[in-house]
């Protein structure tokens, strides 16, 4: 049995975590779970966003399944997600978006994997006031971090028989920072001559993604663009409730849905647990449990194909629990 650290998160976090753990148990995933409350609630109760024991658990298991956490806007504590990515050097954020024939979307032919740099860019959160009316924010791009994410993307492309990697940037304006990222991309591309390497300016990419998404295979980009573009790819495949992600470093790995804590629907029993479930499938694949991952994905696909049991974000009327039980029935 492998131990997995689980953070239950804020908002819809505890509901979707419960659903995913039930499905993993029904699929006989060979895991035991060390579960922790983290985030806003935990802060109000014990004065720490992440209890020390939760950090220790992750440092021991090296594998974290994490539900979303609320981050206050414009005030208060620094994003816990950013803290975790930085503290555990989770430099690559990988977000696979694939449309399914049975989930209605105007974009039925999307199969795009986004590689988002996860440790620098504007996310270093360095801002200071030059005077009362002028704020300066620092965008940090280093050759070292750029090389790591770009090489990770090419290596993934090679392993998964992907054909093309597109570097996304704004080097026409940010000539030095994005320029360094782009230059590094083409240097590393020379080591992978069988993978098509191209680049797109971020604004053009957004337009092209909506007009002709099938032309894209894999994308690699600095942190902030990756955050925005991967939500866009979530929209292309039918919503954030479907988009999983993994955050990988050399020692640690963290698996989480791309969406946030959805406070607007928390406690209403209508959250879609699929994005966190597919993130758990990435965890299964990361730990060599491909067969269990495939079975879970097939069970979800069968529910979509053969029943109308769907949560409201996918046009259905099912509760989180009804949907979860439908997936479990397919696994039995
Ligand atoms: P959000 O992703 O939480 O919600 C956006 C919209 O999508 C909402 O209408 C929500 O109801 C819907 N939605 C999201 N996930 C859903 C699901 N699984 N099922 C059904 N509908 C779903 O984005 P937001 O409202 O901008 O952010 C809320 C909070 O989450 C903020 O504090 C933000 O900082 C935080 N956040 C956390 C993470 C993370 O922990 N990884 C990521 C993004 C945002």
Helix axis angle for 290-306 and 320-331, nearest 10°, is 120
Can you give the pLDDT at residue 76? 60
The whole-number average pLDDT for the span 67-73 is 81
Residue pair 65/2 in contact by the 8 Å Cβ criterion: no
CA 322 to each of CA 17, 19, 183, 326: distance values in angstroms, whole numbers, following the listed order: 15, 10, 50, 6
Order across the sheet with 196-201: list the strands: 31-36, 2-7, 63-66, 253-257, 244-248, 92-98, 111-117, 218-221, 164-169, 196-201
Ligand 1 pocket mutation, candidates 9, 69, 262, criterion most atoms within 8 A of CB:
262
User: Could you tell me the distance, in angstroms and rounded to a whole number, from the CA of residue 264 to the centre of ligand 1?
Assistant: 9
Last residue of a domain, one of 238, 263, 295: 238
Ligand 1 pocket mutation, candidates 256, 260, 265, 271, criterion most atoms within 8 A of CB:
260
* Tens digit of each residue's pLDDT (9 = 90 or more) over 155-181: 999 999 999 999 999 999 999 999 999
Residue 244 in domain: no
Is the full-model pTM beyond 0.80? yes
Give dist(CA 231, CA 96) in Å, integer.
Answer: 11
DSSP structural state of residue 310? -
* Co-location of 230 and 268 in the same domain: no
Report which protein residue has its CA nearest ligand 1's atom 34: 71
CB atoms within 10 A of CB 125: 12
Question: What H or E segment, with its residue span, contains residue 63?
Answer: strand 63-66
Indicate which atom in ligand 1 lies nearest the CA of residue 262: 3
* Co-location of 203 and 332 in the same domain: no
* Tens digit of each residue's pLDDT (9 = 90 or more) over 102-145: 888 889 899 999 999 999 999 988 999 999 999 999 999 999 99
* Co-location of 137 and 3 in the same domain: no
User: Catalytic positions, please?
Assistant: 123, 170, 203, 227, 231
Q: Which domain holds residue 296?
A: 1-90+249-332
Residue 138 in domain: yes
Burial (0-12, 13-18, 19+ Cβ within 10 Å), 145:
buried
Residues 6+ apart with CB under 8 A from 184: 143, 146, 147, 150
Give dist(CA 186, CA 169) in Å, integer.
Answer: 13
User: Could you tell me the distance, in angstroms and rounded to a whole number, from the CA of residue 133 to the centre of ligand 1?
Assistant: 31
* Co-location of 280 and 300 in the same domain: yes
3-state secondary structure of 74: coil
* Co-location of 1 and 102 in the same domain: no
* Co-location of 140 and 187 in the same domain: yes
Residues 6+ apart with CB under 8 A from 2: 30, 31, 32, 61, 63, 287
Can you give the pLDDT at residue 97? 95
Residue 202 in domain: yes
The whole-number average pLDDT for the span 300-323 is 95
Question: Residue 217: which CATH number?
Answer: 3.40.718.10
Q: Do the interacting molecules here have an ipTM over 0.95?
A: yes
Residue 243 in domain: no
Last residue of a domain, one of 207, 238, 269: 238
Residue 83 in domain: yes
User: Could you tell me the distance, in angstroms and rounded to a whole number, from the CA of residue 68 to the centre of ligand 1?
Assistant: 8
Residue 170 in domain: yes
* Tens digit of each residue's pLDDT (9 = 90 or more) over 71-84: 765 556 567 888 89
Give the chain's domain count: 2
Residue 24 in domain: yes
Indicate which atom in ligand 1 lies nearest the CA of residue 9: 40
User: Could you tell me the distance, in angstroms and rounded to a whole number, from the CA of residue 260 to the centre of ligand 1?
Assistant: 3
Report which protein residue has its CA nearest ligand 1's atom 13: 262
Residue 35 in domain: yes
3-state secondary structure of 324: helix
Residue pair 150/161 in contact by the 8 Å Cβ criterion: no
Residue pair 256/155 in contact by the 8 Å Cβ criterion: no
- Percent of the chain past pLDDT 70, that is, above it, reads 98
* Co-location of 208 and 269 in the same domain: no
**The pLDDT of residue 95 is above 80:** yes
Report which protein residue has its CA nearest ligand 1's atom 1: 260
User: Could you tell me the distance, in angstroms and rounded to a whole number, from the CA of residue 100 to the centre of ligand 1?
Assistant: 22
The verdict on the CB of residue 189 being under 6 Å from ligand 1 is no
* Co-location of 110 and 84 in the same domain: no
Average pLDDT along the chain: 94
């Amino acid at each position: 049995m492998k131990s997995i650290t689980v953070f239950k998160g804020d908002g819809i976090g505890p509901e979707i975590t419960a659903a995913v753990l039930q499905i993993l148990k029904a699929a006989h995933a060979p895991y035991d779970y060390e579960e922790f409350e983290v985030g806003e609630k935990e802060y109000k109760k014990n004065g720490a966003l992440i209890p020390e024991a939760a950090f220790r658990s992750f440092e021991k298991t090296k594998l974290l399944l994490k539900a979303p956490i609320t981050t206050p806007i414009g005030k208060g504590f620094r994003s816990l997600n950013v803290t975790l990515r930085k503290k555990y050097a989770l430099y690559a954020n990988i977000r696979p978006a694939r449309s399914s024939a049975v989930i209605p979307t105007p974009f039925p032919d999307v199969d795009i994997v986004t590689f988002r740099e996860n440790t620098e860019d504007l996310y270093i959160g360095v801002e200071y006031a030059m005077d009362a009316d002028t704020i300066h924010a620092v965008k940090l791009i280093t050759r070292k971090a750029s090389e790591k994410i770009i090489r990770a993307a090419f290596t993934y492309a090679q392993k998964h028989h992907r054909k093309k990697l597109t570097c996304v940037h704004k080097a026409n304006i940010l000539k030095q920072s994005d320029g360094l990222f782009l230059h590094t991309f083409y240097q590393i591309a020379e080591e992978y001559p069988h993978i098509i390497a191209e680049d797109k300016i971020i604004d053009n990419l957004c337009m092209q993604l909506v007009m002709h998404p099938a032309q894209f295979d894999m994308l690699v980009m600095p942190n902030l663009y990756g955050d925005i573009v991967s939500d866009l790819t979530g929209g292309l495949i039918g919503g954030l409730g479907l988009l999983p992600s993994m955050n990988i470093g050399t020692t640690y790995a963290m698996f989480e849905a791309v969406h946030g804590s959805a406070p607007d629907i928390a406690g209403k029993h209508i959250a879609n647990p699929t994005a966190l479930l597919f993130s758990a499938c990435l965890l299964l694949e990361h730990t060599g449990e491909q067969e269990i991952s495939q079975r879970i994905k097939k069970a979800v696909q069968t529910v979509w194909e053969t029943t109308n049991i769907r949560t409201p974000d996918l046009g259905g009327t099912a509760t989180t629990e009804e949907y979860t039980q439908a997936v479990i029935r397919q696994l039995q």
